[in-house]
Structure 1
Amino acid sequence: MAYHTKKNGVVELQSLNFPKRAQFFVSAVPEEKQGDWADHLRGAAKMLGEKYRLKVGLSGIIEGSLPIGGLSSSASVIICFLSALCKVNGIHLEPMEMILTAKAAENSNHHA
């Protein structure tokens, strides 16, 4: 994943594997699922935002060579995204907390 900081709090994600671009405010993640590849990432941002104050967004491009639909591929993308979001916001997550947040985001069928 390649990314750069966006001070205005916008998260802008593009996947080289999927056509649609995802865009949302890190402080106001949409409640409802959009039914696209970025749902897990929005869920992860929401969960992180419930514990920590997120002010800084990022603009990133994700490319995955892992097979789509595999549990491990979405988990690794979520962890990659979470660590980038933590880095730009100066948050330090313990590895276990990172894994649990990613797992919860991956398993959630809704963002609540």
Structure 2
Amino acid sequence: MSLRGSREVKENYQIFRLTGLLDAFSEPDFRRVVSKCIDDGPTNIILDLSAIDFIDSSGLGVLVQMAKKTQSVNGKLQVISNPRVTQTVKLVRLEQFLSLQPNIESALENLASGAA
């Protein structure tokens, strides 16, 4: 598999730390796993993509789906980015919608403050 990761569940959020490629090949499994984890709760999700090597349109699509899914269950999605991911997200003008953050601390502050 081109995407690897770990999941850490806290009281009111989950962190997914991912490495590798978030692309058309890894997207279906990623979507299925994270979607089930959102269903199981907690519904606040932090996706740490700081070690991602590549993201394509399929990867962006699943991030949008995850953001919408968390919102539908009164949760929030925070995405920790790196320059490559940030550039790709900004090309399609989704940086605000996907709540790009520079690190886990910023993502946690946004969750605590109620910011989107």
TM-score (norm 1): 0.32
TM-score (norm 2): 0.31
Higher relative contact order (CA 8 A, sep 6+): 1
Which has a greater percent of strand? Answer: 2
